[in-house]
Amino acid sequence: MSNGTVFKDIADRYDRLNAILSLGQDQKWRNTVVSKLPHGTLLDLGAGTGAANPIFSPRSIVAIDPAIEMLEFNDAPSRVVSVGESLPFADETFDAVFSAYVFRNLDSVESTMEEIARVLKPGGMAGIVDLGRPSGAVTSKIHRAGTSVVLPLAGLSIGAREEYVYLHHTPDKHPPPEQLLAHTPLALVDTWRLGPMGFVWAALLQKPDDR
């Protein structure tokens, strides 16, 4: 998850700009996933500044992120600096794992999913929400053209043009979630689309309970 450190220098502005770019819907999109996760102990993977913390209650939260600069703004009681590809936790530690707007920054989705499966308890669930391109060919082209203009300008407004030029390219990094998450140790329970033209995707997965 080393690419996640690309935003470390704008940690104090990151969530504010994301809220603007999502038309204030980013927390609502997170909650469509969090609301489907079990209570208990939850790992917030790529937690950043803790934007999702208000919607996690009553769960016990562990926040993990590769950028200490982000975690310094996070008020979670337990914060860990590490990457998704090598989680520093014992097997079967968590009831749930949540990750928002992180998977396009991972060095290895395969390794991260293996680690998520390892630290989940049997029957535990993982919820993911991230940005991608709309599924239709025409809407995908329109969206790509739009982000090529809007994101660099938005980044420039807060002195972070390079970071948001990078963000423009990341939705093209992976295939749709149905393909990206089809062959992992977890069972893919559901996927759905959010946002204008469906450029946000969400997925729910579960660890088999063989007990």
Condensed to tens digits (0 to 9), the pLDDT of residues 111-126 reads: 999 999 999 999 999 9
Burial class (CB in 10 A: 0-12, 13-18, 19+), 142: middle
* Domain range 2-133+174-206, its CATH number among 3.40.50.720, 3.30.465.10, 3.40.30.10, 3.40.50.150: 3.40.50.150
Q: Judge contact between 97 and 45, C-beta under 8 A.
A: yes
Q: Judge contact between 161 and 13, C-beta under 8 A.
A: no
Q: Give the number of other Cβ atoms within 10 Å of residue 53's Cβ.
A: 16
Q: Give the number of other Cβ atoms within 10 Å of residue 172's Cβ.
A: 13
What residue ranges of the chain have pLDDT lower than 50?
1-3, 5
- The confidence score (pLDDT) of residue 2 equals 41
- The confidence score (pLDDT) of residue 195 equals 78
- The confidence score (pLDDT) of residue 184 equals 97
User: The pTM is what?
Assistant: 0.80
Run of H or E residues at 142: helix 137-157
Q: Give the number of other Cβ atoms within 10 Å of residue 150's Cβ.
A: 13
- The confidence score (pLDDT) of residue 17 equals 62
- Give CA torsion, residues 130, 131, 137, 143, to 10 deg: 160
State which amino acid sits at residue 91: D
List beta partners, residue 101. none
- Look at residues 16, 2, 4 and name the one whose alpha carbon lies nearest to residue 155: 16
The two structure tokens encoding residue 10? 């704008």
The residue ranges of every structural domain in the chain are 2-133+174-206
**Pairing mode of beta strands 200-206, 120-131:** antiparallel
- The confidence score (pLDDT) of residue 1 equals 38
Condensed to tens digits (0 to 9), the pLDDT of residues 152-180 reads: 555 555 565 565 555 555 656 668 899 99
